[in-house]
Amino acid sequence: MATLPHIEMTSLVDDLEPILQSNYGYGSVYHYTETFIDAPDPCLTIEGVGTLKYPLDEAEADMIKSAPYTPCAGGGRRLDPKAVSISNDLLLWLRDTVLEPVCDTLHIPDTEEEEPHLRLHSVVFYPQGSRYLSNERSNIPDDAVASVAVALYSSHCEGGELTFKWGDMKATLGEFEPEQAKGPVHTRVIGCFIDTQQIMEPITSGYQLILSYDLIHPSPEVTRSALIDSADVEDDFREILRRWSTQQYMLGVPSPPLVVHNLGPHTLYDPKALAQWGMKVLKGPDTPKVACLQPIVEELGFKIGFATLTLNRGMGPETCDCEASKACDACAASGHYTDSYYLSGMVGLDGQELFGPGLYQSNPNPLVSELAIIPSVEPYETHDFPPLAADVSRTIKITTTALLLFDGRDESFIKFHLNGGIPLSWYKSDTFNRILSYSSTDHAKDIALNVLRAFQDPVLSLSRPFPLYPRATALTLMSKAIRWHDFPIWEKSAALVDYFIPAIELEGIKKALMEFGLDVMRETLFVLIDNNYCFTTRLDLIKAVSSLFQHSLAKRLCDALYSHAMRTYNAGDPGDAAALVEAMHNFDNGSKIMLDMHLGQAEPAFWMQLALYLHARLILNQEQEARNRLPLDKLIDRCVHACLPLWTPFRDI
């Protein structure tokens, strides 16, 4: 079988970037706005109030104020659309004059079987003097593909405008000039691609009535995603995912790509709304983009999600090589800064949680690679910050919403690789042990290896946002590894706590020795000796090994113990000599084992110090040391000979 050619990670991102950045031809046609001076003046019949003839005067406006209403922010009045009837001449005019250009502009296709139509969903009255009275809507029906708002001004309107907003996008009807009030009343129309949330912000110096319609297309073939013509984009995207899934892209180490696409420097969706509604929260061009990508992603086994992406850029003396007395403006401008990225609130298209709760932090970004974050616009370029003082540091923080893209087969791996990807309760031994017990052996081993990767990542371990539980996890995994007869997992679990014997527990080491055998664990025993600072702990391990296996291994472990003591003493720490003697006091045949050590090249001062401690022990505890007197004397004699150039009085001992 031929080997697939590898393409660098940069190629994957380079290929995806134009697709994720593109608005699919939607950016320039997301709304329709027009002002009409020949629109008919409608008659409105309000239940319980009567019939009003447009344009409104003050008396008719007062009549509207007497109608039942639901308050809007700032004093606006939302009337019940079921209680309002509009004359047919306005409805016919909307159908004949407005509907066609709205559909053409928004690329809503026309079908022979069914024709689009308008359905009134709200009537909002804004009194004179209303300014920025937001009317927010989030309950969009499934059969609606667009919104059309008709603004009707009063006959003595002195000015105003109407703005529709969603995300960082907006459509605005130009300001209504006072002199225009002297001529025919202007009717203004906004048609926009529909969202699950719209905010209408009018400014008026007269009376203004807003009729909001849903544009309904009965044909099931016409959906909101039909607003885009993206055949070429879809083909390119499908081919990129195919190459990704067959690993023609180099996936990188230690984790597979988790591509993070920043939707925009000012695009931030409420994480709670994302968790509740998923992709229904999307606005503007984000909606057709995801609608286009979703079927291809699901077809090829990939997944899309969302997350809150926080970008922190630190600048100043702490982030560059300049001296504190020098200004760092030039350094910041030339790239002397540190970036960190945080992902939180990860959810899928359905709003379900991805990768477990918590904060996913990287500093710098090891999510996969620094290249795996695709910003739609460099967010720092959109901010004008004052220059830094010479000794001042600054952190710029920008929060946006990001689109996540990853291979579904890698979801479990990514979950454990990302910092904090496992719920904290999993690290507690009882819960974690239960999870492993309920899993098949192969699946449990995969979980164990993923947990070890998450703990041992050299970058992530420096930036954990909360304390983890390595000892409880290590004990659980070592216990399971003995049951699975899997020494690599046992050894990696021991490394999780730096081979610290009190954390691993001596009894656990003895069980591992009996399960895996001396030949498998021989080198690990020497690592355990070398990584523990307490001589008592080390000699306890030697005693355990001596009781299980031959005496020669204990001698070799003592050699390792001596070598470590010699190194620490030569480095200026004489405490090992005292600890060595103290440990021998409670260790059967300790002096004899020490005598059997192969004495290498050591500083005479080390042996002098050891002899002093041994001599003090004999004088202070003569009765207690009587049984060890002979081997102690021999050991002292050996120490004395080793340090003769420095210490002559010991000849009398």
pLDDT digits over 97-152, tens only?
Answer: 888 888 877 777 776 667 788 888 888 877 766 655 556 666 667 777 778 888 87
Q: What is the pTM for the complete model shown?
A: 0.44
β partners of residue 153: 208
The pLDDT of residue 535 is 61
Residue ending a domain, choose from 368, 390, 420: 420
| Residue 425 binned pLDDT confidence (cut-offs 50, 70, 90) | very low
Helix, strand, coil in percent for the chain, rounding step 5 = 45, 20, 35
**202 in the same domain as 243:** no
**Position 341 pLDDT exceeds 50:** yes
Lowest mean pLDDT among 352-361, 420-429, 442-451, 479-488: 420-429
| Residue 641 binned pLDDT confidence (cut-offs 50, 70, 90) | low
Q: Do 263 and 403 form a contact (C-beta atoms < 8 A)? A: yes
CA angle 445, 449, 451 (to 5 degrees): 115
**271 in the same domain as 171:** no
In this prediction, residues 580-596 reach a mean pLDDT of 48
Q: Do 537 and 502 form a contact (C-beta atoms < 8 A)? A: yes
In this prediction, residues 426-442 reach a mean pLDDT of 64
| Residue 352 binned pLDDT confidence (cut-offs 50, 70, 90) | confident
Does residue 222 lie within any of the structural domains? yes
The string of pLDDT tens digits covering residues 80-93 is: 888 888 877 788 88
**222 in the same domain as 135:** yes
Range of the domain at 287: 228-420
More confident: 426 or 52: 52
**Position 465 pLDDT exceeds 50:** no
**214 in the same domain as 265:** no
**251 in the same domain as 141:** no
**38 in the same domain as 173:** yes
In this prediction, residues 512-517 reach a mean pLDDT of 86
Does residue 522 lie within any of the structural domains? no
CA–CA separation, 484 vs 270, rounded Å? Answer: 45
20-29, 120-129, 508-517 — most confident range: 508-517
CA–CA separation, 629 vs 44, rounded Å? Answer: 115
393-397, 572-576, 582-586 — most confident range: 393-397
321 exposed, middle or buried (CB, 10 Å; 0-12, 13-18, 19+)?
A: exposed
**63 in the same domain as 157:** yes
User: What would the DSSP string read from start to end of 8-42?
Assistant: -HHHHHHHHHHHHH--TT-GGGSEEEEEESS----
**304 in the same domain as 388:** yes
492 exposed, middle or buried (CB, 10 Å; 0-12, 13-18, 19+)?
A: buried
Task: Kindly give, in sequence order, each residue whose CB lies less than 8 Å from that of residue 151, ignoring residues fewer than 6 positions away.
Answer: 162, 173, 187, 188, 189, 190, 202, 208, 209, 210
Structure tokens at 29: 């046609």
The pLDDT of residue 4 is 39
The pLDDT of residue 307 is 85
Structure tokens at 141: 């029906």
CA–CA separation, 606 vs 225, rounded Å? Answer: 80
Does residue 519 lie within any of the structural domains? no
Does residue 459 lie within any of the structural domains? no
More confident: 491 or 577: 491
428: helix, strand or coil: coil
Number of domains in the chain: 3
Does residue 6 lie within any of the structural domains? no
> How many other C-beta atoms lie within 10 A of the C-beta of residue 564?
19
The pLDDT of residue 490 is 92
**279 in the same domain as 195:** no
The string of pLDDT tens digits covering residues 293-309 is: 888 998 998 988 888 88
**207 in the same domain as 160:** yes
**280 in the same domain as 182:** no
| Residue 486 binned pLDDT confidence (cut-offs 50, 70, 90) | very high
Does residue 499 lie within any of the structural domains? no
125 exposed, middle or buried (CB, 10 Å; 0-12, 13-18, 19+)?
A: buried
Does residue 321 lie within any of the structural domains? yes
Does residue 306 lie within any of the structural domains? yes
Residue ending a domain, choose from 226, 252, 273: 226
CA–CA separation, 450 vs 455, rounded Å? Answer: 9
Residue ending a domain, choose from 226, 243, 276: 226
Sheet holding 43-46, edge to edge: 50-53, 43-46, 84-86
Lowest mean pLDDT among 94-108, 210-224, 305-319, 374-388: 374-388
Closest CA to 367 of 105, 5, 9: 9
**168 in the same domain as 278:** no
The pLDDT of residue 395 is 64
